[in-house]
Amino acid sequence: MDQAEGLRNIMNGRKLALDSLAGSGGDLLSRRAPDRNPLVLSISSGKGGVGKTNIVANLGLALARQGKRILVLDADLGLANIDILLGLTPRYTLEHFLSGRKKLKDILVPGPEGMLILPAGSGVPELVDLNETQKICLLNEMDQLSQSIDWLLIDTGAGISANVLYFNLAAQESIITVTPEPTSITDGYALIKILATRHQKKNFLILVNAVVDEGEAKEVFRKISLVADRFLSSVSLDYLGFIPFDKHVPTAVKKQQALLEIFPQSPAGKSFTELARILIDRPFRNRNEGNVQFFWKQVWQVSNINLT
Ligand SMILES: Nc1ncnc2c1ncn2[C@@H]1O[C@H](COP(=O)(O)OP(=O)(O)O)[C@@H](O)[C@H]1O
Ligand SMILES: [Mg+2]
């Protein structure tokens, strides 16, 4: 048996495995497939600590409350913490799947409002380092999963590491999170610049977090788009919205519960609900282009290009 045949066999075997989904995520996964392919959104930032994980958790919840089936991939490798934020205790992580010890459905953790969380864990290698078998298994099981979700949200982590770049390049839409801090703006710009100049990514959605009001958010957006217009040809930055600075956010973090669960009427809570509405109404480019398998293929395709 040659290597290709071996991989095909693995794919077929894995396909059967997900046909009989049961356990924690089973009910959700057995719901009917959406007519359209899931939308893949990456949430990134240049600088760490700007609120990505909070945004992914609460935006996911807000989207779920508005009827969307959500899968969250916690891909902030090394700093994976969405489970901690939501008070979840995953028994297994992507690491168990990649080592062949668990099926993908076994590592999914059900979160609030039926959101599914795929915890990456801290021992997961950069995606570029996965071997062929791991890639195919992940592709195949992800593809099965995609039958039961509407949106895949990816917390990519911060900076310009290979993983952050791959996910941004492969996602249908990239949300770049910035705060009014000058370092957050310059680092956010640096991420956009690398994606635009080295990898021809042209469209970004800017989400401004921890601002006093919309005026401050628009000012932050104006700053980043001024520089982008000046130095990056044909890059298009869209203002997505803002989340106000709100003391309820750290309070919810300390309680290990999603803000939207315990303070839905707080200023930030209302903004997440509004943001979900904006995203649902948004006519996304490439909405029907490819499925989640297509997405992962893109990830690995771009991982073959030189990122240095
Ligand atoms: N809108 C906000 N208002 C107040 N505090 C916030 C807000 N967004 C995030 N934070 C706080 O900032 C810290 C970092 O948030 P986190 O989501 O972990 O950032 P990242 O994932 O980008 O590293 C957390 O302690 C959180 O409570
Ligand atoms: Mg984080």
For the CA of 56, the closest atom of ligand 1 is 17
Instruction: Locate the domains of the chain by residue range.
Output: 40-121+133-300
Q: Are 80 and 119 in contact (CB under 8 A)?
A: yes
Cα distances (Å, whole numbers) of residue 161 to 192, 247, 248: 13, 31, 31
CA torsion sign for 284, 285, 287, 293 is negative
SS3 state at 71 = strand
Cα distances (Å, whole numbers) of residue 59 to 89, 172, 269: 20, 17, 9
Please tell me if the CB atom of residue 299 comes closer than 6 angstroms to any atom of ligand 1: no
3-state secondary structure 107-133: HCEECHHHCEEEECCCCCCCHHHCCHH
Q: What 8-state DSSP symbol labels residue 46?
A: S
SS3 state at 42 = strand
CA of 283 to the centre of ligand 1 (A): 28
CA of 202 to the centre of ligand 1 (A): 27
Q: Which residues surround ligand 2, an ion (CB under 5 A)?
A: 52-53, 76
Q: Which ligand lies nearest to the CA atom of residue 253 in the structure?
A: 1
Q: What gap in Å lies between CA 127 and CA 202, rounded to an integer?
A: 23
Tokens of 77: 């490798």
The per-residue DSSP string of 130-196 comes to --HHHHHHHHHHHHHHHTT-SEEEEEEEESS-HHHHHHHHHSSEEEEEE-SSHHHHHHHHHHHHHHH
CA of 52 to the centre of ligand 1 (A): 7
pLDDT at 162: 80
pLDDT at 193: 96
Tokens of 254: 């300390």
Burial-class residue 284 by CB neighbours within 10 Å (0-12, 13-18, 19+). Answer: middle
Tokens of 39: 């939308």
CA of 47 to the centre of ligand 2 (A): 10
Mutating to test ligand 1, I would choose from 61, 156, 253 the residue with most ligand atoms within 8 A of its C-beta, which is: 253
Report the CATH fold assignment for 40-121+133-300.
Rossmann fold (3.40.50)
What is the tally of helices (H) and strands (E) in the chain? 14, 8
Taking CA atoms only, the protein residue closest to ligand 1 atom 16 is: 51
Please tell me if the CB atom of residue 245 comes closer than 6 angstroms to any atom of ligand 1: yes
pLDDT tens, position by position, for the chain (308 residues)? 444 444 444 334 433 333 333 334 444 444 444 446 788 899 999 999 999 999 999 999 999 999 999 999 888 876 768 999 999 989 998 888 888 899 988 999 999 999 999 988 766 666 667 787 887 787 778 777 877 899 999 998 889 888 788 788 878 899 999 999 999 999 999 999 999 998 888 999 999 999 999 999 999 999 999 999 999 988 999 999 999 999 999 999 999 999 999 999 999 999 999 999 999 999 876 655 555 666 676 666 666 655 44
Contacts of residue 197, defined as CB under 8 A and 6 or more positions apart, other chains included, come to 232
For the whole model, what pTM was predicted? 0.84
Main-chain dihedrals φ then ψ at residue 61, nearest 5 degrees: -65, -40
Residue type at position 56 = V
In sequence order, what are the beta bridge partners of 237?
204
Q: What gap in Å lies between CA 260 and CA 269, rounded to an integer?
A: 5
